Structure 1
Amino acid sequence: MKVSVIDQSPVPAGTTPAQALQNSIELARLADRLGYERFWIAEHHALDALASPAPEILIARIGAETKGIRVGSGGILLPHYSALKVAEVFRMLHALYPGRIDLGIGRAPGGTPLDAFAMRAERTREPVSDDFPQRLMELLAFLDSNFPSDHPFKRIRVSPEMPGSPEVWLLGSSLWSASAAAQIGLPYAFAHFIDPEPTRSAIEYYRSHFVTGRAATPRAIIAMGVICADNDEEAERLFTSTRLFRRRVRMGDTRPIVPPEEAIAELGTARDPIVQSEWPRYVVGSPETVRSRLTAVAEQLQLDELMVITVVHDHRARMRSYELLAESFSLEPRPESRAGR
């Protein structure tokens, strides 16, 4: 089974966002060497705990620092941007790293309503709440140069012109996104770590309603939270930082990720909200525990690829988690990346 990485560039308390970005680059080099399939960078705005509001910039740097891993966005939040501009940016990335670029597209705001308002180019009118499908179709048409002959955008040439294009994925955490990906014929990535309740229904709906489009057959990934350590107890200790981070975010508190000792003190005996789902947001434990649980999910959903996200305070522990996970799934290492030569 293929395993991939989605990274939010988490900021550990006591460090800086600049260091968090360097951590992401270091993690990407490691993922490349270990044999992970892809490395996606998330987009978030005005969050002290997450450092990357511009995935495309980090993609360009990571592409240069790695050798074989696919690099992409997880995802570009299309409502904020011109479809043409996104097409140009990712065509440029495709020209630099042909055959290695993924363009994951989402429709979430990635921040507060005020953040979303501040990012709008046009503030003289109310935003159109349902224009995401139109933007998405325009983006695909720009990437493929296939506007209808009578469309005014037919005359626009998207540069740089070269064979092929980025691989486009639709991202989401709802049945709406599953339906859209199926109708348009796009590969689909479901954010189980955001909302685990509709995971099975979303994947099954996507497959059963898929119409051949940009993809010939349905391709689905689910992204799950994972913390892997040498034993279950240490993994659970590391997980306390993640639990507190999620609890704070629910309360509108976006401070950086604290160490386990501080998290344990603040959490006390509080329990996480109960979610009615077949599988937890985060799989936490030793390599044997994590492999067993992830494999069970993949088998039940008939997946050949899983994507994992790891948010902990200690960057070394995060790196170690991905090392242990790669070993447990017997990923095939790649030759040393650019940075390792």
Structure 2
Amino acid sequence: MVVLNILDYSPIDEGGTAREALLQTTQLAQRAEALGYHRFWVAEHHQVFSVAGSTPEMLMMHLATSTKNIRIGSGGVMLPNYSPYKVAENFRMLEALHPNRIDLGIGRSRSFRIVNQALNESKGIKISYEQQVQDLQKYFTDDKITEHRFQELIATPITETAPEMWMLGTGGESAEIAAANGMAFAYAHFAKPSIAGVEAVDAYRKHFQPSKLLDEPKVMIAVFAIVAETAEQAEDLAKAFDLWLLFVESATPPPYYPSIETAKKRGFSASEQERVTRNRKRMIVGDAAYVKGEIERIAAIYAADEITVIPSIAGADSRMNEIELLAQAFRL
């Protein structure tokens, strides 16, 4: 049976506000919990004005307080921009208040250059990504024995349990680091749906080394899914999502997720249609039965332990409807 999760970007619908988007994320998390989803993750996006999710730790605290049992996580924290010690403190605070419910998904920053400059302008020496990962593991396990440049340092609050650590990635290097350091691995199929992803996941399993935080390899696959009652309705939603992806890649993206109506009125140029066709390979579009079959097919290809669905479609009601339709189809 496929374990299903949700990753929400907190999209700001056309005519809406960031506050409304964040409240809609809260309602989506509460509904996901009631429907039986396993995890609910939120993202970190900077300088993307059509989504409200910029600080996952703060939103996670609100979501964990607004729910009871569902695991709440980051998908993910862009670790190179931050101090591993401070990230560990943030997530230990979350874990202290919501034990056995917190996930730390980490990734590398792919933000705009100006964002990276602003987040890093006061830094001196840069440490490697793998070292940052090892730092987090030290802080989550209270390790004062293994040699380390901050050997005596302990991240507080001290907790009896630790957040789950997930490495987010789109290729072999992230899979390598996850395997070598005994972390769970989340592959972004929605970004790179190719045989290279299957090979990365296979290599991760083959080279996995157990750690204090994880005994066996664990794989999550993340997908864009667009679901509605009928294939025709799903296609309308997909056209709006097609336009949003084009907007995100443009020089002056508008500060909202375009509606179905806007997408229909605007249409696509010939060059845009080529990009739309390429982007369509990154998503699953259809009614619940079709999308369920495709999710099961993808899960089988990767031998995935879990699938995370990203319902980044126009309209809070449409997003809510999607997770309900999928929950019914999978009998969560």
Q: TM tier, shorter chain?
A: over 0.9
Matched, 1:257 2:260: no
Q: Deviations over 1:73-92 (max 9, x none)?
A: 00111111111101001000
Question: 1:203 and 1:152 mapped to 2: Cα distance?
Answer: 32
1:262 Cα deviation after fit: 1.2
Q: Structure 2 CA distance, aligned partners of 1:324 and 1:132?
A: 39
Further displaced range: 58-67 or 298-307: 298-307
In the alignment, what sits opposite 1:208? 206
- Pair 1:10 & 2:11 matched: yes
In 2, Cα distance between equivalents of 1:141 and 1:34: 36
- How far has the Cα of 1:311 moved from its partner? 1.2
From 151, 154, 157, the counterpart of 2:151: 154
- The 1:170–1:147 alpha-carbon spacing in structure 2 relative to 1, beyond 3 Å, is farther
1: CA distance between counterparts of 2:70 and 2:217? 22
| Aligned residue pairs, count | 325
Query: What are the equivalent positions in structure 2 for 1:57-68 lying under 5 Å apart?
Result: 57-68=58-69
- Structure 1 match to 2:83: 82
- The reply to whether residue 267 of structure 1 matches residue 267 of structure 2 is yes
SS of equivalent residue, structure 1 residue 10: coil
Q: 1:144 aligns with which of 132, 141, 144?
A: 141
TM-score (norm 2): 0.93
Classify the secondary structure of the residue corresponding to 1:74.
strand
What is the match of residue 338 of structure 1?
Answer: none
- The equivalent of 2:113 in structure 1 is 113
Give the Å deviation of 1:190.
Answer: 0.8
> By how many angstroms is 1:150 displaced?
5.0
Q: Which residue of 2 aligns with 1:166?
A: 163
**Which amino acid in structure 2 is aligned with residue 268 of structure 1?**
F
Write out aligned runs for 1:183-194 (5 A): 183-194=180-191
What's 1:134 paired with?
A: 131
**Where does the alignment leave 5 or more consecutive residues of structure 1 unmatched?**
332-341
Distance in 2 of aligned mates of 1:52 and 1:233:
30
Is 1:305–2:302 an aligned residue pair? no
Q: 1:201 to 1:272 in 2, by over 3 A?
A: farther
TM-score (normalised: structure 1):
0.91
In structure 1, distance between residues paired with 2:70 and 2:320: 16
In the superposition, relative to structure 1, how do residues 121 and 94 fare at CA in structure 2: closer, same or farther (>3 Å)? farther
8 Å contact from structure 1 (residues 45, 115) kept in 2: yes
Note the alpha carbon deviations across 1:249-278, whole angstroms, 9 max, x for none.
Answer: 2223432111112113333364243559xx
Q: Deviations over 1:270-303 (max 9, x none)?
A: 4243559xx9321111111111111111122212
* CA spacing shift, 1:139–1:304, aligned 2, 3 Å: closer
| SS of the residue 2:5 aligns to | strand
Post-superposition offset of 1:171: 0.6
Partners of 1:149 and 1:261 in 2: CA distance: 59
Q: Match for 1:248: what amino acid? A: F
Distance 1:304 1:137 in 2: 24
Runs of 5+ consecutive residues of structure 2 not aligned to the other structure: none
How far, CA to CA, are the matches of 1:254 and 1:153 in structure 2? 43
- The structure-2 alpha-carbon separation of the partners of 1:62 and 1:187, relative to structure 1 and needing over 3 Å to count, comes to same
Task: Indicate the SS of the match to 1:288.
Answer: helix
Shift of residue 105, structure 1, vs aligned partner:
0.7
Instruction: Give SS of 1:153's match.
Output: coil
What letter matches 1:203 in structure 2?
V
User: Is the 2:144–2:153 contact (alpha carbons within 8 Å) kept by the matching residues of 1?
Assistant: no
Q: 1:179 & 1:119 partners in 2: Cα distance?
A: 26
Aligned twin of 1:234: 233
* Aligned counterparts of 2:325 and 2:274: Cα–Cα separation in 1: 26
Equivalent position of 1:335 in the other structure: none
Q: 1:203 to 1:272 in 2, by over 3 A?
A: farther
Q: Which deviates more from structure 2 when the two are superposed, residues 300-309 or residues 251-260?
A: 251-260
Deviation at residue 149 of structure 1 after TM alignment: 5.4
Task: Please tell me the residue identity of whatever aligns with 1:80.
Answer: N
CA contact (8 A) 1:243 1:272 kept: no
**Partner Cα separation in structure 2 for residue 269 and residue 239 of structure 1:** 17
Whole-angstrom CA distance in 2 between matches of 1:272 and 1:82: 41
Amino acid in the other structure paired with 1:266: R
- Match of 1:14, SS state, is coil
Distance 1:275 1:212, change over 3 A: farther
**TM superposition outliers: structure 1 runs of 4+ over 6 Å:** none
> Are the equivalent residues in 2 in contact too, given 1:101–1:167 (CA < 8 A)?
yes
